[in-house]
Amino acid sequence: MRDAQPVERAVGMDYYVSDADGVGGRLRAEPADFRVTEIEAFDPEPIDADPGAYPHVLLRATLSGWDTNDFASALSDGLGASRERISWAGTKDKRAVTTQLFSVADADPDEVAAVEVGDADIEVLGRTGRRIYFGDLAGNAFEVTVRDPDRPDAVAAITADLVAFAGSAGDDSAPGDGPVTVAVPNYFGQQRFGSQRPVTHEVGLAVVSEDWRDAVLAYVGGPSEREPEETQAARERVDEVAERGGDWADALDEMPRYLGYERAMLHELVDRDASEPDDFRAALETMPTNLQQLLVNAAQSYVFNRILSERLERGLPFDRPVAGDVVCFTDSDAPPEITVPDTDRLQRVDADRVETVTRHCERGRAFVTAPLVGTETELGDGEPGEIERDVLDEVGIEPGDFDLPGEFHSTGTRRAVLVRTDLTVEREPLTFAFSLPKGSYATVLLREYLKVDPAELG
């Protein structure tokens, strides 16, 4: 175990589990270097099904260089439809080639098939009785190429560490001889918080505290040296206006047009001549509803990462439970090519059940969990529960704080602390192929191999 990069520690990822030096290099030199294909778990009816009973058109889009939210906006423009009629199963990164599912409410399948949206290949699959929701997938398959690695021979030592971390479900075979089972802590990756400017968890923590003004200023202000100079200057202007009680129009005038969400918030502050908490809450609510939810999710993710880092520091296992843990079981409805934790099926582990549940974990039937804290969160017992409570105390929140208005409310859930995968490595060029269950981050595995600044991971 070794210390992580400073920017990773700022979002709760304190450690690498591999002690070996990284291979170096960079990801996403071009979109085709990072390929993501959803492992689908959503079956449509035929195209000619009754549109009254099945009003949503399901499509599969292969995108190159598209942010998911931006593609949804472009698709709505191309169809002349409200953006709120478009939904998707998972948010993907812009600098990649991605294949993913979308649904469009009350649409003509022929019009969907004919729409032209930049560099996008659209295939209409059928009709559904409801919109596709975030999370309506089993997982993602990745094929990732690392360019210009400094130490490609380090792959073997890193893999050995990750095989050991996988526990008894690991594999002693050497990389390059076929798939090898490895595991990493199921951290939320840097992109959950912002790769260049990791602040979404700070915004979310302010929301959870119902400090709406601080939440807006954390999102719109607070320049980062990792951003372009024009962006830094605009955020500095926001901070100046906020400090001296100036006119929000001054900040809006300087905000670049490519920062659309920031400009929308500032427009709202100008229109309201903002001074009251509700004015700042209204500014946050100019964001799409899914992004409002992501702000709170980022706060939950930060706390989760902190819990995992503390578990690592204390030397508690990830592949098996200790007394006081809460485990979940495998989703029996998942496609056979992926193992997915079902966090609706939870069980507390007391001292008498540790040995039995350990056997389930060894066979890939159960997973140790930690909380994504919300109003209905029940914390663990024993040392795991002590870790959870200590982290919440340090952050200054408690489950009841998530009883929030509108899209900001969250009941919480739990999440597996470990993610395993069968990894295949090719050497020329250095390419990693693996699959992860939904919600797990490819960069959390890849960071162990590269051990570079997260900006190089994208």
Domains and CATH numbers, the chain: 2-32+139-186+419-456 (no CATH), 42-135 (3.30.70.3160), 210-287 (1.10.1510.30), 291-416 (3.30.2350.20)
Q: Length of the chain, please? A: 458
In 3D, which of 297, 298, 361 has the Cα closest to residue 326? Answer: 361
Element holding 184 (H helix, E strand)? strand 180-185
Closest CA to 456 of 98, 224, 70, 191: 191
Whether 148 is catalytic = no
Contact criterion met (CB below 8 Å) for 451 and 21: yes
What does the pLDDT profile of the chain (458 residues) look like in tens digits?
899 999 899 999 999 999 999 999 988 888 899 999 999 888 899 999 999 999 999 999 999 988 888 899 999 999 998 888 999 988 887 889 999 999 999 999 999 998 888 888 999 999 999 999 888 889 999 999 999 999 999 999 999 999 999 987 655 544 455 789 999 999 999 888 987 788 999 999 999 999 999 999 999 999 988 889 999 999 999 999 999 887 899 999 999 999 999 999 999 999 998 888 999 999 999 998 888 999 999 999 999 999 999 999 999 999 999 999 999 999 988 888 888 999 999 999 999 999 999 999 998 899 999 999 999 999 999 999 999 999 999 999 999 999 998 889 999 999 999 999 999 999 889 999 999 999 899 999 999 999 998 877 76
pLDDT of residue 453: 85
Rounded CA-CA distance 267/428 in Å is: 51
CA-CA distance, 87 to 420, in Å (whole number)?
A: 29
Q: Which pLDDT value is given to residue 458?
A: 65
**Residue of 14, 33, 93, 214 marked active site:** 93
The alpha carbons of the chain give a radius of gyration, in whole angstroms, of 23
Neighbour-count burial for 56-74, b at 16+ CB within 10 Å, e otherwise:
bbbbbbbbbbbbbbebbbb
With H, G, I as helix, E, B as strand and everything else as coil, classify residue 228. coil
Q: Could you give the CA distance from residue 316 to residue 358 in angstroms, rounded to a whole number? A: 14
- CA atoms within a 13 Å half-sphere pointing along the CA-CB vector of 297: 16
Q: What is the pLDDT of residue 169?
A: 62
The phi, psi pair for 132, rounded to 5°, reads -75, 140
Burial class (CB in 10 A: 0-12, 13-18, 19+), 303: buried
Give the type of residue at 180. V
Q: Is the pTM of this model over 0.95?
A: no
pLDDT in tens, 343-383: 999 999 999 999 999 999 998 899 999 999 999 999 999 99
Are 174 and 45 contacting, i.e. CB atoms less than 8 angstroms apart?
A: no
Residue 57 has φ and ψ, to the nearest 5°, of -95, 125
Taking alpha carbons only, the member of 88, 69, 75, 44 closest to residue 288 is 69
379 Cβ contact partners less than 8 Å away, ≥ 6 residues apart: 371, 385, 388, 389, 399
Asked if 192 contacts 293 with a C-beta cutoff of 8 angstroms, the reply is: no
- Given this model, what pLDDT does residue 177 score? 59
Q: 26, 1, 24, 51: which is closest to 310 by C-alpha? A: 1
Q: How far, in Å, CA of 332 to CA of 346, rounded?
A: 14
Nearest to 98 by CA among 57, 142, 134: 142
Structure tokens at 215: 């939440």
Q: Which uninterrupted H or E stretch holds 64?
A: strand 56-64
Q: Residue 94 has what pLDDT?
A: 81
Contact 149, 94 (CB under 8 A): no
